[in-house]
Amino acid sequence: MFKKDLNKAIAIGSFFILGFLILPQLNRATDIENEKTPSFFDAEINANIDENLEIGYLFNIRNKTYKPGTYHYAIKAKENDERISFLTEEYSHYDDEIVFNWRQTLPPYKVIKNAKADTLYLIKKGRKIAFPKYSDKK
């Protein structure tokens, strides 16, 4: 009985040790892949967006994957800014200033941005809204 328990303990211990050795390698592979992904800030975009881009760090536009990069494009909106309700197509109520990222917009819409631009333009239902470059680093 002791031998069976010892074999089980060794098998379980080996499993955990291998897990701790393999997981960091998988994380490194993911980090290297993310480094190869182009920054959205550096890209020139003129595309129609028909699906939600809000979820996830990486996002796809026209079958090309981008990472957000150093800068984001966002609106700093004060209390109950009607642009937010328009872009999300629902009533938005907040009491303070918020930062609304362009990726939070409910599709469909068109996005236009030059490479390394200070402003991204979003066109939804014929209305053009500017999203200035925004950095969350202080």
Rounded CA separation 126/118 (Å): 22
Q: Which residue has the higher pLDDT, 99 or 33?
A: 99
Question: Does residue 102 register a pLDDT over 60?
Answer: yes
**Tens-place pLDDT, residues 45-83:** 999 999 998 777 888 898 899 988 778 899 988 877 889
Full DSSP string of 41-98: GG--EEEEE-S---SSSSEEETTEEEB--S-EEEEEE-TT-HHHHHHHTS----SS-E
Contact between 38 and 70 under an 8 Å Cβ cutoff? The reply is no
Question: Does residue 2 register a pLDDT over 70?
Answer: no
Average pLDDT, the chain: 81
Distances (CA, A) of 116 to 10, 30, 72, 99: 55, 25, 11, 20
**Tens-place pLDDT, residues 22-47:** 555 545 544 555 677 888 999 999 99
